[in-house]
Structure 1
């Protein structure tokens, strides 16, 4: 008679990891298990220095998908967009075809992704139903050292099967424990979107080339020269990351981390594709404040949706970290209107301001970014 021994679940799971893998770090990792018709897209993330462990820790975030042009999915998305804008007779619009393509790919779940960074290889877990994977990692070697000066950008590269010669790469921004960071909205803060007009918002997003808000690329470039780190937090969906990243690079905006919204086409409407929700932005901003307790933050947004309310709440909850809040006034409201008095209740009046043009806040923000605490 054979005796069957019940093994603990944790032991069973550990035996499924590649040889030498523990906590995502592998001595002899298996390559990423993606097929040649599947792609990996990495999103820009950040790394922070943990004082208690004297090590850097960084996040890796990406997506596995199969590029596909499904006429059925395309028709479904166009129908959704037509709810708020005139998309008829737009089949030959190259911008439209480029913008909707990421929405109609096949997201790949259950894909294990192995990466190489700082000369080490790590497993990043497996992709979810939406194709996304993410993991917080720390290098073993300590080769990164300690830096309290300029931001460093580390290259991330997927480890693929030997015969797959493609290259999928990304970046991690190592941000020093002290310094100044800008948390910036995108739509109507640095990119013309017209969020208050849903029809124009859809056209600006899906039919037209992206356009920068006048003066904002130059302002951000000056700040970047003062070693300011940038985090772009938006209600735009992850499907728009690539066109947004391309636009920002061409417009001259500094590179930074991206924090966008998860979106599913199924069961959604055009109103939810680009809507910005408080909880979505707070879920991105609060971890940043926690990861960098000794950095000072400047918050830049607009009055089109909920940025005043979100930033006011953050300033009340983290008063020692927020040194300035700037709201681009796209709604024609006045600084003493009830909305802003409510949004910034309990926040010192000299901590926040409305602006219409970047020139109105340039000197003040540069002073904040360059003045040592």
Structure 2
């Protein structure tokens, strides 16, 4: 049976106005840029290549838009605490926007290196795989115990003093990648309950699943080649809030892969765009890094077991293990898991409730 994402319903509630097809390329003072933390690699010539995604938008300021959002989602703003109301204002603002078409962003990579991204599409999005420069010429942030990231920022008009910064996670050809779901895997969201999901997303403070940040930290400490990739069906508009959650709760730095919603597909399609997005993004990661091995960590609330099992069958030499956090009360012997993981080695997958039960990363051959 088709199910409609509550996020898609909210996006379809006439809270968005699609910007006119403008010809001006400069970022205006009332427009904003949101970069997603992507992935960088070194090519055979020693140059850094990076995947850069950016969204250009203007905050929606129409009177009544916020109340319309609250009414459509079933929120009682007057009953919220001051903290909850602040969360609601800040997070729903990310869903009240005008996407800006035809905007070109110039990136400042080093004192002598700039690159210009393709113009944004009708959704305000631009994506590009770029060859940047030798690593020595780029701004690299190397925090002790953390993976290196390459820092860059947008070039703005001379009279605009704002800063829009982006980062790329530097990923070596070999090593271990931890691909982690977010909702109900590392963040308490209660995805299976629509009302709770909306409250946990827009009203309440984000809460980390106890013990997950510490376990991920130990994964990172076990091997210097470990990299983290956070893969979620959450809309890309939530990027600032999710990234703040990850950093504030001590999760290792990683690339962040959120969903760019196709509202028409969500509302009128067969309801599986969330699964397709996660599956496609995950398998693209494995294809990009054929010499890396992958730990896949998710939860039982939605389709993570099925997505990960399908991936393990397609890439049997790359998937080290699948770890599924139990949020549905199904034992490892349940028919769902028996059918889902049929044919996979018994030791390749594990259902867990306590993060401390997850084994250490075995030395790679």
Asked whether 1:139 is paired with 2:136, we answer no
1:72 Cα offset (Å): 4.4
Instruction: Give the 3-state SS of the residue equivalent to 1:103 in structure 2.
Output: coil
1:113 is matched with which residue? 105
Asked whether 1:210 is paired with 2:206, we answer yes
2:311 is matched with which residue? 314
Q: Report if aligned partners of 2:48, 2:134 keep a CA contact under 8 Å in 1.
A: no
CA–CA separation in structure 2 for the residues paired with 1:76 and 1:267: 23
CA–CA separation in structure 2 for the residues paired with 1:142 and 1:235: 32
1:284 Cα offset (Å): 1.2
Q: Report if aligned partners of 1:95, 1:208 keep a CA contact under 8 Å in 2.
A: yes
CA–CA separation in structure 2 for the residues paired with 1:144 and 1:355: 44
Asked whether 1:347 is paired with 2:344, we answer yes
1:143 Cα offset (Å): 4.7
Asked whether 1:357 is paired with 2:350, we answer no
Q: Report if aligned partners of 1:48, 1:291 keep a CA contact under 8 Å in 2.
A: no
TM-score by length of 1: 0.81
Asked whether 1:73 is paired with 2:71, we answer no
Give the one of 155, 161, 165 matched to 1:159: 155
1:49-64 equivalences under 5 Å are: 49-51=42-44, 55-64=47-56
Which 5+ residue runs of structure 2 have no aligned equivalent?
A: 1-23, 139-145
1:305 is matched with which residue? 302
Asked whether 1:130 is paired with 2:127, we answer no
2:286 is matched with which residue? 289
Q: Report if aligned partners of 1:192, 1:210 keep a CA contact under 8 Å in 2.
A: yes
1:23 is matched with which residue? none
CA–CA separation in structure 1 for the residues paired with 2:135 and 2:64: 50
Aligned in 2, Cα 1:267/1:95: closer, same or farther, shift over 3 Å? farther
Aligned residues: 328
1:360 Cα offset (Å): 1.4
Q: Report if aligned partners of 1:297, 1:321 keep a CA contact under 8 Å in 2.
A: yes
Q: Report if aligned partners of 2:305, 2:324 keep a CA contact under 8 Å in 1.
A: yes
Aligned in 2, Cα 1:357/1:69: closer, same or farther, shift over 3 Å? farther
Q: Report if aligned partners of 1:32, 1:160 keep a CA contact under 8 Å in 2.
A: no
Asked whether 1:263 is paired with 2:261, we answer yes
2:11 is matched with which residue? none
Which structure is larger by alpha-carbon Rg, 1 or 2? 1
1:32 Cα offset (Å): 6.2
1:90 Cα offset (Å): 4.8
TM-score by length of 2: 0.83
Q: Deviations over 1:39-73 (max 9, x none)?
A: 1111100012344x654321111111112333343
1:248 Cα offset (Å): 1.3
CA–CA separation in structure 1 for the residues paired with 2:104 and 2:91: 27
1:233 is matched with which residue? 231
Q: Report if aligned partners of 2:70, 2:77 keep a CA contact under 8 Å in 1.
A: no
Q: Report if aligned partners of 2:47, 2:134 keep a CA contact under 8 Å in 1.
A: no
Asked whether 1:246 is paired with 2:244, we answer yes
Q: Deviations over 1:221-274 (max 9, x none)?
A: 1222333111000010001111111111111111111111113678967xx99x
